[in-house]
């Protein structure tokens, strides 16, 4: 991978430590190579955008990170865990510290917003006290500006509202790392900008490290401290958004209209 900056952690304070380290990751499905020699690091309190076209392996990458898919080769270290060697119990332990914001929000249609947010509190933390549940859920909704939606169902919400509720449900367990899978997909420009602002707010308020998987150049520009360009399943270039934009690299012509 070509690093476009002389300082690997440009935009990231030197005192911060790595929370994710991926080396030489490979993943295939039958004869189709999806990820090939992927390398990236993520530092605490950093927003790292992984920029790539549809089908470039971006979503497979973050699924390998949390053990939803097993890599064929390579090393994946997340929060000090060696992901490839984890037992089922340890995988659960890791996943409780990693928030996954799915592209489709992954809300339960049969539940209200309140019930959707209560679900991980009950299942993962064993919280059933009504007053405690109400306080946590309402605080989470206020943080995404949707407390009035508490008794609505997902089919009554707009796409942007669903994204916000999905992020709130993920944050309710106070993860150390956030993984956003195409957070602005299917949204209009104004709503996309609002979601991008929320991603920045999450980093600043919760001090999370985040990987943002996206093909949206505007999203990468707005939210990232650094960017890794994933081209045909391989991490090709790395640097700040401005450095990638100025690189005039043929691999990035679809994003920057060189």
Q: Say if residue 2 is in the same domain as residue 84.
A: yes
Q: Say if residue 21 is in the same domain as residue 90.
A: yes
pLDDT score at 6: 42
In sequence order, what are the residues at sequence separation of 6 or more whose Cβ sits closer than 8 angstroms to the Cβ of residue 84?
A: 70, 71, 75, 76
pLDDT in tens, the chain (258 residues): 777 664 444 555 556 789 999 999 999 998 899 999 999 999 999 999 999 887 788 889 999 999 999 999 999 999 999 999 999 999 999 999 999 887 767 888 999 999 999 999 999 999 999 999 999 999 999 989 999 999 999 999 998 999 999 999 999 999 999 999 999 988 899 999 999 999 999 999 999 999 999 999 999 999 999 999 998 899 989 999 999 989 888 888 888 875
CA distance linking residue 42 with residue 158, whole number of Å: 32
Q: Say if residue 225 is in the same domain as residue 249.
A: yes
Q: Say if residue 142 is in the same domain as residue 229.
A: no
Q: Say if residue 201 is in the same domain as residue 233.
A: yes
Q: Say if residue 132 is in the same domain as residue 243.
A: no
Q: Say if residue 87 is in the same domain as residue 125.
A: no
Domain region containing 142: 108-174
3-state secondary structure the chain: CEECCCCCCCCCCCCCCEEEEEEEEEEEECCEEEEEEEEEEEECCCEEEEECCCCCCHHHHHHHHCCCCCCCEEEEEECCEEHHHCCHHHHHHHHCCEEEECCCCCCCCCCCHHHHHHHHHHHHHCCCCHHHHHHHHHHHHHHCCCHHHCCCCHHHCCHHHHHHHHHHHHHCCCCCEEEEECCCCCCCHHHHHHHHHHHHHHHHHHCCEEEEEECCHHHHHHHCCEEEEEECCEEEEEECHHHHHHCCCHHHHHHHCC
Q: Say if residue 215 is in the same domain as residue 151.
A: no
Q: Domain holding 205: CATH number?
A: 3.40.50.300
Residue 222 in domain:
yes
Counted domains in the chain: 2
Q: Say if residue 71 is in the same domain as residue 113.
A: no
Q: Say if residue 255 is in the same domain as residue 208.
A: yes
Q: Say if residue 145 is in the same domain as residue 184.
A: no
Last residue of a domain, one of 174, 198, 224: 174
Q: Say if residue 86 is in the same domain as residue 182.
A: yes
Last residue of a domain, one of 174, 190, 205: 174
């Amino acid at each position: 991978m070509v690093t476009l900056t002389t300082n690997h952690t440009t935009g990231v304070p030197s005192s911060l430590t790595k929370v994710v380290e991926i080396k030489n990751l490979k993943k295939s499905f039958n004869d189709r190579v999806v990820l090939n020699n992927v390398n990236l690091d993520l530092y605490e309190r950093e927003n790292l955008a992984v920029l790539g076209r549809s089908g470039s392996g971006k979503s497979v990458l973050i699924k390998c990170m949390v053990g939803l898919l097993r890599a064929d080769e390579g090393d994946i270290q997340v929060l000090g865990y060696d992901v490839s060697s984890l037992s089922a119990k340890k995988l659960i332990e890791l996943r409780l510290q990693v928030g996954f914001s799915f592209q489709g929000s992954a809300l339960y249609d049969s539940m209200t917003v309140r019930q959707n947010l209560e679900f991980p509190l009950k299942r993962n933390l064993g919280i059933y006290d009504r007053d405690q549940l109400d306080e946590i859920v309402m605080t989470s909704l206020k943080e995404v500006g949707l407390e009035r939606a508490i008794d609505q169902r997902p089919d009554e919400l707009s796409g942007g509202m669903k994204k916000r509720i999905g992020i709130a449900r993920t944050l309710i367990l106070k993860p150390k790392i956030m993984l956003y899978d195409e957070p602005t997909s299917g949204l209009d420009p104004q709503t996309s900008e609002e979601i991008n602002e929320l991603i920045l707010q999450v980093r600043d308020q919760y001090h999370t490290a985040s990987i943002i998987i996206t093909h949206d150049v505007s999203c990468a520009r707005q939210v990232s401290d650094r960017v890794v360009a994933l081209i045909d399943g391989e991490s090709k270039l790395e640097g700040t958004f401005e450095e990638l934009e100025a690189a005039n690299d043929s691999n990035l012509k679809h994003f920057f209209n060189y």
